[in-house]
Structure 1
Amino acid sequence: MVVEQPDAPSGSPRVGRFAYVVVTRTWKWDDEVFRIHGTDPDGVEPTTERVLGAVHPDDRDHVARTLRQATTRGEPFSVCYRLDADDGVERRVVLVCEGGVCDVDTEVPVAQLDGYYIDLTDDFAQVASEEAREAVAASAEHRATIEQAKGSLMLAYGLDADQAFAMLRWWSRGKNMKVRDIAEHLTTVSSAGELTDQTLRHSVDNLLHDASPSAPGS
């Protein structure tokens, strides 16, 4: 996963890496994750309490439960939630864990979780607008493909329909491709049976990262 640099132009996808050390309950964030949380990098490793404290109260139990399961199983996961950032902005983020690092020499089954944050705030705002809905309706011939792609993302990341479309838009902007082209690429591979339930999330990540950026932008 390539993390955008701090001077990335406005509108660029915001992605940041994290590592969660289970024994110490501390998180290592890169600079972009600090910015997603509405604060400048301060050299202080955030704790689980700080991470959960920034989660919207209505989403907190779900996020906490997901993290607890990950620290005992070490399995990949993703969770979408509202983040109450320190700068007063409510952001929509997806927290994606690529899996745990196991340590057989300790009593802790999972020593560390690694993954990344995706800030989908701008994409959610666009999805919620009438302009975006009218644009989708106007492209009736592409709606079936987009809906199928949304379904794949809903399965892979545990998203609802609006969240899945926001992620399609996020990939569209990041890859400089039309939403319909991203959707067609995803559904073609999915229909060919190249995605399985055990490797679905990683396959989707690799697929979208490998998508050709040569198609004209939306």
Structure 2
Amino acid sequence: MTEERVGPADDTDALTGVFLFRVPEEAWWWSDDMCRLLGYDSDETPADDAMLDRHVHPDDREGIRRVWDRGLRTGTPFSTYYRLLTRDGQERHAVLVGDGRVDDDSVVVLRGFVVDVTEPVQRHAQESADVDIARARASQEDVDVARGVLMALYGVHEDVAFRVLRRHSQQTNVKLRTVARAVVEATPTPPGEGQHDLHLRIAQALYPED
């Protein structure tokens, strides 16, 4: 079987390994990319059950075995996500997809791919983290502004102003950032209203039911 490679030979980020298991003979065949994905040269690693199991994260081995056993029984398409361990102990993210060839109601071959998805998984995790950080920063900005408003309005220390916000949050069972946002939104003086109405607007934000 010939392979079409994309990218340099040592670029594991782009690797998609191919495997084939002949059930009656219990014989494996791995592509060169499969070997590289596990951290081996193609001529130095035996392809067998033990080798494959050794390169699956211990917490994911049961799931891999369950999917594999179902494939052996039925030959129907299967897939699973798991953490792959390379020869030098690096942890990568992979997806195993495959199916079986059935002959006389018996599965005679399992074949499929191991796709390295480390880069997109890490990119998604970073993007999610960036979003969470941005939200946290925005929330903190609202809290800081609201605290400043209460400090100016009531003439209190920043710690006291924060404790007022937190107390209202606890008492009303409303998240602190939501209380702070309400104070921030109530602060600007609407056209036609006097600045002296600020106290009333803040009170309404803190005590919306009164």
TM-score normalised according to structure 1 size: 0.53
CA distance in 2: counterparts of 1:136 and 1:103, whole angstroms: 52
Classify 1:89/1:133 alpha carbon distance in 2 versus 1 (closer, same or farther; 3 Å): same
In 2, are the aligned partners of 1:28 and 1:45 still within 8 Å (CA)? no
Runs ≥4 residues deviating over 3 A: 8-12, 132-138
Q: 1:119 corresponds to which letter in structure 2?
A: D
Aligned length: 132
SS in 2 for 1:58: helix
SS in 2 for 1:114: strand
2:43 paired with 1:46: no
- The correspondence for 1:125, drawn from 119, 122, 127, is 122
| Alpha-carbon offset, residue 4 of structure 1 | 2.2
Structure 2, unaligned runs of 5 or more: 135-210
Classify 1:49/1:122 alpha carbon distance in 2 versus 1 (closer, same or farther; 3 Å): same
Q: 1:46 corresponds to which letter in structure 2?
A: A
In 2, are the aligned partners of 1:15 and 1:118 still within 8 Å (CA)? yes
In 1, are the aligned partners of 2:13 and 2:117 still within 8 Å (CA)? no
Classify 1:38/1:44 alpha carbon distance in 2 versus 1 (closer, same or farther; 3 Å): closer
Further displaced range: 108-117 or 63-72: 108-117
Q: 2:109 corresponds to which letter in structure 1?
A: Q
> As a proportion of its length, which structure holds more helix?
2
CA distance in 1: counterparts of 2:32 and 2:68, whole angstroms: 22
Q: 2:86 corresponds to which letter in structure 1?
A: A
SS in 1 for 2:119: helix
1:100 corresponds in structure 2 to 100
> What is the RMSD of the two structures over their aligned residues, measured on CA atoms?
2.8
2:63 corresponds in structure 1 to 62
In 2, are the aligned partners of 1:25 and 1:48 still within 8 Å (CA)? no
| Alpha-carbon offset, residue 136 of structure 1 | 11
1:91 corresponds in structure 2 to 92
**Could you report, residue by residue, the CA deviation over 1:130-176 in whole angstroms, capped at 9, with x for unpaired residues?**
4x6547999xxxxxxxxxxxxxxxxxxxxxxxxxxxxxxxxxxxxxx
In 2, are the aligned partners of 1:70 and 1:77 still within 8 Å (CA)? yes
Q: 1:18 corresponds to which letter in structure 2?
A: F
2:81 paired with 1:80: yes
SS in 2 for 1:91: strand
Classify 1:84/1:75 alpha carbon distance in 2 versus 1 (closer, same or farther; 3 Å): same
| Alpha-carbon offset, residue 120 of structure 1 | 0.8
- The correspondence for 2:112, drawn from 111, 115, 135, is 115
In 1, are the aligned partners of 2:94 and 2:114 still within 8 Å (CA)? yes
In 1, are the aligned partners of 2:6 and 2:14 still within 8 Å (CA)? no
Q: 2:27 corresponds to which letter in structure 1?
A: T
TM-score normalised according to structure 2 size: 0.55
Classify 1:40/1:63 alpha carbon distance in 2 versus 1 (closer, same or farther; 3 Å): same
Identity %: 32
In 1, are the aligned partners of 2:13 and 2:118 still within 8 Å (CA)? no
In 2, are the aligned partners of 1:26 and 1:48 still within 8 Å (CA)? no
